[in-house]
Every structure is written in structure tokens, then in C-alpha cells.
A = this chain, B = another copy of it.
Amino acid sequence: MQLNKEKTVSILQTSGEPMSLNQERSNDDNSTVLFLSELFDELFPICRSITGAGLRQSLELFGRHMPLCIEKVPSGTAVFDWTVPPEWVFQRARLTGPDGTVLADSEVSNLHVVNYSVPVDIRCTLDELKPHLHSIPELPHAIPYVTSYYKRDWGFCLPYETVQHLPEGSYHAIIDSDFIDGCVDIGSCVLPGESTAEVLLSTYLCHPSLANNELSGPLVLLGLYQRLALWPRRRFTYRFVINPETIGSLCYLHLHGRDLQATMVAGLVLTCLGGPSQKLSYKFSRRNNSLLDRTVRYLHQHSSIPLELRPFEPAGGSDERQYCSPGFNLPVGQMARTVYGHYPGYHNSLDTKEFMDVSSILRSVNELEDLLQTIELVGPFRNLYPYGEPQLGKRDLYPNLNGPSTRVNSADEYVDNRAQLTRIMNILSYSDGDSTLLDIADRCHCDVMKLQPIIEKLEKNGLIVHDYPRRVVQ
């Protein structure tokens, strides 16, 4: 399976400078990596949260390269069991020690302030301050990432080596923030396909300066958007969603959950898709046997894409927790590479561009494009001539003369013809709306991608159709 795609990418954008994954249409990946790297550098310093200016600015940067439509859900809206919080307006936070040393400054790192901190401007003793300080003893140099979205609180995050040696005395904590009636912003766009049946690709954008567990997801999403836009055909419609984690997917389900239930055939939450891990890591959907679950299981068995598998579990993860909640139970899995919680830099200042590595982003784009190309192929298909065998001879798909050496030039050609005929007959026999092409490939003892040219030939001859519309309606 080829990882370095030799492709030119069209430029699709809503505003700003024309850019593309392969701006100079080169035959290597250098320009793509450069493009992703520059976009990363613009995004990384922005102080994002689940609402507010940082989120909007970040969505605007992605909107330059894909036609994002922005939907807004106002503060105070009841969203299932939740309420959309007020918007957090943050200017600056600074903590000064007894001797005037600046211990934490959001201008230095926006991780220093607890995200969604209430405004404060107080002087206090070390003991009064301590409940508001956060650090990681096991990682003494790291600044942790802490949030308090739904309970009013404030705090500073510092390296443990700093916290450990703080002297007694008077500290000055100043956080210049505010809460206003605002909204949650969600960006999305659609690449239409031959069918209205949809594949959802969803990722989040709400953490401040973090790399693998923040920017890797939207960057891979953008890469996939640009790749899929170039496909000569898309059987499915593809929906791309970027939203703040949890509250964002809840809002999206609030707006579109019923539609997704009606149209979605597969979904994937993209998270932590950079870092040093050599294998993609798939978390199954709650259904555990969705089209995507079965395809990933197949690819794993056949080693087509290096993959690790994780069972569905509802207690950890990302927005698939909302998509897979039992009322919706959508067929949404989650794809990661260097998984949250499994690397030291998770949710702290060690999660940097160097750790993430832009080239691993490109690799994720390549492998996920391969996965989606397989999804396009798995069907199920439906035989339009199900009563008796269709007459293949009149379509030049079957030898008209039936004899020992019919129209073949060698034993090899005979074996090839025989294999092709076996594949044709199996596809026709099992294109009954139940069997996927994965099942049929197993019956033919061949890789599913080997069936692609036959599928296209049978489609062209009007013998089979992709059966997704009927499946989605059920």
C-alpha cells in the first residue's frame, strides 16, 4: 500500500491567500509538510477555549483552506442535559511572587492560566494561593493544562519545580477575564457524493497551545478534505466538522442529530494523530460491527494499514462519547496515532510541535485516505439481475465458447481468467444487500482492493449498484 501519494491538490477556499497541500504540484511531500508546518505555527500560539475569540480565529484560519460554514449556538441554550456556558473573554493572567518575580504569565504560555478562570486581582499568602496552583510532580518542568468550564474557579498552572520552592510572603494574582453572552462556534463543510448517505469526519478545536492533542486532528481533517475533493468519484457524501470538544459535539447533535441518524453510514472522530507511534489506533464504535468497524477489522487482519485496535469504552476518549451515546448510537469510531493518556506530554506543555512532528500528520492523512477508499468499496452492492445468473457471455464477461483451451494463450492466462470469473460470480451471488465486499473478498481468497476493477466493470455494465441508499433508509 502506497503511502506517498503523487497527487496535485485543488485549491478550495473561502477567503485569504490561495494555499494548498501541494501548492507547487511537486511529486514529493515536501511542500505539503511545509504547508502544514506554516499553518501549525499560525495556530499554535492562539489561546483557545470552548468558546470565544481564540476558537473563532482558529476556525477562520482553517476556513482559508476549506469552505467552512460556521454555526453558532448561543450561551444559555439547553442542549440535552447541558446548558451552553457563557463565553469566556480572556485578556491576560499574571502571578507575581513576594519578591516581584513573575511566576506565571499568559503572555509566556497560555497554559499558565486555568482555562475559564473568573477574574481576580488579589494579594494573598502562599497558603491562600496554594489551592489555586496546579502542577505535575512527576513532570517537574511541565506546565499542566487545567480547565474549569462549568464551575466558577480560578487558578494558575506552573512547573512543579517552581511550585516546590515558593517562599512564604504576599503573592499577587491577577486574571483579566470576563463572561459574556456569546456562543459556541462550530465549523463544517460537505463534499457531496453520488449518494446522500454520509461519512462524518469530526475533530475538536478548543485546547490552547497543545500540538498532538489539539492541532493534529484539524490538520489531518484539512488534509483529508483536500484529498477527497480531488477524488474522481465519491460514492458517499463526506461531512467535515470542527468543534470544541464535548459541548461542541453535543451542540452539533442538538442541531443535526436526527439528520445524522437518517444519513450516516460511518463516522470517525480524529484526535492525537501525530507523534512517534508507528501505527494508527482505532477505537471501535459502540455498535462494534458498523461498516467502519468491520472495515478496520478487515484491514487489521490483512495488515493493509498498520493499525492497533481498541474496544469501545464510554469513560475516556473524545466526541465519540457523545455520538455513541445510547440514544443516538451512531456508527462513529475514533482514530488516533499517539493516543491521549499514553504519552508523558498529554495535557501539558510537553505536547509540542517537535513531539507531534508534522510528517506524522501527513502519514496519518495518507493512511486515512486509504481507509476511506476502502470504505467506498465495501458496499454492500446489489445485483440488479438476481433471478438466475445474468448472461455474462453477451457482455464479454464470460467465454462464449466452452472448451478446454478457450481463447487463452497460456496456463497462467487460464488461471487469471478463472480467478476473474470466480470473483465476478461471487460478487453477483452475494451482492444481496447483506454481504459486504469484505465478505466477498474472503470468499474469493483475495484482497478487497483486487475486486475494485471488477466492481467498476460490473457497475458499468449495469449489473450491480452500490446499495447504501436502501441501507441508510432502513
Q: Interface residues, chain A, CB within 8 Å of chain B?
A: 79-82, 114, 134-136, 144-151, 153, 155, 157, 246, 249-250, 253, 257, 286, 313-315, 321-322, 324-329, 347-348, 383, 385-391, 393-394, 400-406, 421-422, 424-426, 428-432, 443
> B151 near A326 (CB under 8 angstroms)?
no
> A150 near B391 (CB under 8 angstroms)?
yes
> A328 near B387 (CB under 8 angstroms)?
yes
CA distance A149 to B145 in the complex (A): 77
A286 partner residues in chain B, CB cutoff 8 A = 429
> A388 near B322 (CB under 8 angstroms)?
yes
Given contact pairs A253-B387, A314-B429, A404 touches B144 in the complex (Cβ within 8 A) = yes
CA distance A232 to B151 in the complex (A): 37
CA distance A10 to B437 in the complex (A): 52
Question: Which of A81, A394, A404, A424 is most buried by chain B, counting CB atoms within 10 A of its CB?
Answer: A404
A246 partner residues in chain B, CB cutoff 8 A = 389
> B153 near A401 (CB under 8 angstroms)?
yes
> A431 near B151 (CB under 8 angstroms)?
no
> B391 near A82 (CB under 8 angstroms)?
yes
> B443 near A404 (CB under 8 angstroms)?
no
Given contact pairs A134-B404, A150-B400, A389-B322, A314 touches B425 in the complex (Cβ within 8 A) = yes
> B389 near A325 (CB under 8 angstroms)?
yes
> A327 near B387 (CB under 8 angstroms)?
yes
Describe A's contact surface by its main secondary structure: loop
> A326 near B402 (CB under 8 angstroms)?
no
Question: Which of A151, A328, A403, A430 is most buried by chain B, counting CB atoms within 10 A of its CB?
Answer: A403
Option from B136, B325, B426 in Cβ contact (under 8 Å) with A314? B426
> B134 near A405 (CB under 8 angstroms)?
yes
Question: Which of A253, A315, A443 is most buried by chain B, counting CB atoms within 10 A of its CB?
Answer: A315
> A147 near B426 (CB under 8 angstroms)?
no
- In the assembled complex, the CB of A12 is this many whole angstroms from the nearest CB of chain B, namely 32
Complex copy number for this chain? 3
> A431 near B388 (CB under 8 angstroms)?
no
A403 partner residues in chain B, CB cutoff 8 A = 114, 134, 144-147, 157
A249 partner residues in chain B, CB cutoff 8 A = 388
A431 partner residues in chain B, CB cutoff 8 A = 326
Option from B151, B313, B390, B426 in Cβ contact (under 8 Å) with A313? B426
CA distance A432 to B406 in the complex (A): 54
CA distance A123 to B422 in the complex (A): 40
> A148 near B402 (CB under 8 angstroms)?
yes
Option from B315, B325, B424 in Cβ contact (under 8 Å) with A386? B325
> A81 near B390 (CB under 8 angstroms)?
yes
CA distance A394 to B85 in the complex (A): 13
A405 partner residues in chain B, CB cutoff 8 A = 134, 136
CA distance A348 to B404 in the complex (A): 9
A114 partner residues in chain B, CB cutoff 8 A = 401, 403
A326 partner residues in chain B, CB cutoff 8 A = 383, 386, 428-432
Option from B151, B322, B404 in Cβ contact (under 8 Å) with A401? B151
Q: List 24 A-B contacts (CB under 8 A).
A: A80-B388, A134-B404, A135-B404, A144-B403, A144-B404, A146-B406, A147-B401, A148-B400, A151-B400, A151-B401, A153-B400, A246-B389, A250-B388, A257-B387, A313-B422, A314-B425, A314-B426, A315-B426, A321-B389, A322-B388, A325-B387, A326-B383, A347-B404, A348-B404
